[in-house]
Amino acid sequence: MTPQSGRPRVAVIGGGRMGAGIAQVFLTAGAEVTVQEPEAEAAHARIAKGLAIAESKSPAHNAADGLARLMMGPVPYGVDLVVEAVPEDPKLKIEVLAEAEGRAGERAVLASNTSSLSIGELGAGLERPERLIGLHFFNPVPVQALVEIVVTARTADDVLGRARQWVELIGKTGVVVNDSPGFASSRLGVLLGLEAMRMVEEGVASPEDIDTAMELGYRHPMGPIRLGDLVGLDVRLAIAEYLHQKLGDRFEPPRILRDKVAAGELGRKSGKGFYTWEEER
């Protein structure tokens, strides 16, 4: 799994919140990580901040050591793993995965962090689609314990085995799911979130009280509406529209979600969604 140097070599395509978090957990696990991101300076700062926060919580995490193994630039040849973490645009994902396949070399496992798109369809542009797998991380990556490992009918057995090793390396728990719209987590999580938004729209209860009901009544660590704000309401809308297309009317986005996205109220990243986040941005 690792090169002769003894350190795993990982490339992450995309340095936004998710990509930075993925890079951080691999750096913390001792890997050499290259991040491909047009806004390289901002991505580097984001990762450095995350490493510093981790170090402040545990002296076992050395931020300087992690940063010394971080490089910014295109996917290098000879990496062990490439994780695509660009926006949920199928065309864009297909393009960057095909480019990565050409750059990374034959031994690399290719992974998509998509939360709902078909892994099989994303692999259609690859010469060897059998080495593509889904690695669906959860936000915020450094603290979430789960990674969904998504396989297609063409995924090679050794690729699944290596993916399990990567998830174990970063201290996460992996669940294996067959390629289907929304996989397991997004399909269930989005459905719950959409119904919670409809309840706000219908005046059943406030966002705060709905979230508290799920947190205390069902032991959810975070309520579905607050989680939607954290993920991004634009992301939630895009996933809901995709699942609506694939699975039918039960995933139709409510008007309140469409209106908030149209108004630029995207959640934490814009400072306002169903909640106000000014102090937490």
Confidence of residue 142 (pLDDT cuts 50, 70, 90): very high
pTM: 0.88
The CATH number of the domain covering residues in 9-178: 3.40.50.720
Write down the domain spans for the chain: 9-178, 185-270
* CATH 1.10.1040.10 applies to domain 185-270: yes
pLDDT in tens, 188-202: 999 999 999 999 999
Lowest mean pLDDT among 96-100, 136-140, 240-244: 136-140
Q: Is the pLDDT of residue 5 over 80?
A: no
List the single range of 11-15, 19-23, 183-187 with lowest mean pLDDT. Answer: 183-187
- The tokens describing 4, both together, are 């002769």
What average pLDDT score do residues 239-243 get? Answer: 95
pLDDT for res 279: 56
**How far from the centroid of its chain's Cα atoms is residue 191's Cα?**
18
Detail the DSSP E strand segments found in the chain: 9-13, 32-36, 70-72, 81-84, 109-112, 132-137, 146-151, 173-178
Within 8 A by CB and 6+ apart from 242, the residues are 88, 116, 117, 181, 182
Query: Residue 61: what pLDDT?
Result: 87
pLDDT digits (tens, 9 = 90+) for 143-183: 999 999 999 999 999 999 999 999 999 999 999 999 999 99
